[in-house]
Amino acid sequence: MNSAKRLFSSTARHLKQKGIPASYYRGGTSRALIFNKKDLPANKDDWKPIFIGAMGSPDPNGRQLNGMGGGISSLSKICVVNASNHEDAQVDFTFVQVGIKNTGLDCAGNCGNMTSAIGPYAMYSGIVDASTSSSPNPKGEDLATVKLYNTNTQKHIHATFPISNGEPDLSGSFAIDGVSGTAAKIQLDFIDPAGSKTGTLLPTGNKIDLINGIRTSCIDAGNPCVFVSASDLNITDLSHLRPDDLQSQPELLEKLESIRRQATIRMGMAHSDTDVPPSIPKICIVDTPTGSYRDLSGQIHQDKEGVDVTVRAISTQQPHKALPITAGLALSAAARLEGTVVHGVVREPAREEITIGHPSGTLVVGAKYEEGSRRLERVTVYRTARRLMEGVVYWD
């Protein structure tokens, strides 16, 4: 009797997986792989296969099951961090939005949520020393302020967080909507954030532009953003419009994407429809709070009592389950500019600090203008972050 034919060869070549040191962090309502720049190839052209391989892209099913990504824009992110040579900065970081169904790497803008993780990462990894960044606060806590420089927007951010025994102390009692549990409060001060990509707060020169018959405000603070009013889109109850509801309205999403693309060209960020970045500007629908609503966790929020403006954001053509932090920065800046779409719907536009209602809850953001002028000095927001993993990620 003939022996069965072998289905393998004993001489088969065993290929070794390719790995690289990496960390995995949650920052705000996002997650990202973080690389120390010194661990990456010197030639940036060699970064792409590492990034898309590590994240599991491209995935025609949109799930990124073969990598660290999570199939939605807030979970398909990478940050590259290194010591800074810029004046008044200790740490440089570059944010990369990784395509899910494609191999695109978008470095056009920053991620405000992941910015909250950069200071703690830099301290854990030895890029900055706690002893050079720390000072006690009035409550007797030891706090560190790490001065960051975002290469995408060429803007400075100061990240302040608790430390203990020379390391970040990320445990605490502060909660943010969209994330379970509590953690240490991380204060992010975006310094002189206007004109992050266009050089000016009002890139079109107007507080309102008419695009496709829709009143539109184009604001550049933190990242460029486009704001439209719910009433102009015939949306009668934005507070109860959930991300899945938006996703099930392809005609509305197409209309918003068309407005976003035309706004991008008017803002001087693209020459034609074909070279519009996928990640910025974000486009947001805004409305005046009308009543209570239930967020994605089931918690009930009383709009009329605690929320100043309601927003639904679209990021890379996907309805966002919370709110991109940089969209919150631009929204808070627009809220205090009389004549903008946002100013027209916010409950108390004169207030420096406003509460924004989004699908996962609320976000408090404060915009500070120079007295007597339209210069935006800083925008402050509070986030939390968590170190999830350190080790080696295999990309091939």
Parallel, antiparallel or unpaired: strands 142-150 and 91-98: parallel
How does pLDDT run across 276-307, given as a tens digit for each residue? 999 999 999 999 998 888 899 988 887 666 89
CA–CA distance, 211 with 335 (Å, rounded to integer): 20
CA–CA distance, 155 with 88 (Å, rounded to integer): 11
Say which DSSP state 328 is in.
Answer: H
Looking at residue 256, its pLDDT comes to 98
**Domains, in order of start, for the chain:** 18-192+385-395 (3.10.310.10), 209-365 (3.10.310.10)
396 residues of the chain, pLDDT tens digit each = 444 444 444 444 557 899 999 999 999 999 999 999 999 999 999 999 999 999 999 999 999 999 999 999 999 999 999 999 999 999 999 999 999 999 999 999 999 999 999 999 999 999 999 877 777 676 667 999 999 999 999 999 999 999 999 999 999 999 999 999 999 999 999 999 999 999 999 999 999 999 999 999 999 999 999 999 999 999 999 999 999 999 999 999 999 999 999 999 999 999 999 999 999 999 999 999 988 888 999 888 876 668 999 999 999 899 999 999 999 999 999 999 999 999 999 998 778 899 999 999 999 999 999 988 889 999 999 999 999 999 999 999
Largest CA distance in the chain: 97
Residue closest to 173 by CA, chosen among 158, 185, 186: 185
CA–CA distance, 77 with 69 (Å, rounded to integer): 8
Looking at residue 351, its pLDDT comes to 82
Looking at residue 355, its pLDDT comes to 95
* pTM assigned to the model: 0.91
How does pLDDT run across 92-113, given as a tens digit for each residue? 999 999 999 999 999 999 999 9
Residue closest to 93 by CA, chosen among 68, 48, 128, 43: 128
Q: In sequence order, what DSSP letters do the residues of 320-358 get, joined into one string?
A: -SS--HHHHHHHHHHHTSTTSHHHHH-S-TT-SEEEEEE
Parallel, antiparallel or unpaired: strands 318-319 and 167-168: unpaired
Residue type, 152: N
How does pLDDT run across 162-206, given as a tens digit for each residue? 999 999 999 999 999 999 999 999 999 999 999 999 999 999 999
Residue type, 11: T
Residue closest to 59 by CA, chosen among 103, 4, 119, 10: 103
Looking at residue 372, its pLDDT comes to 80
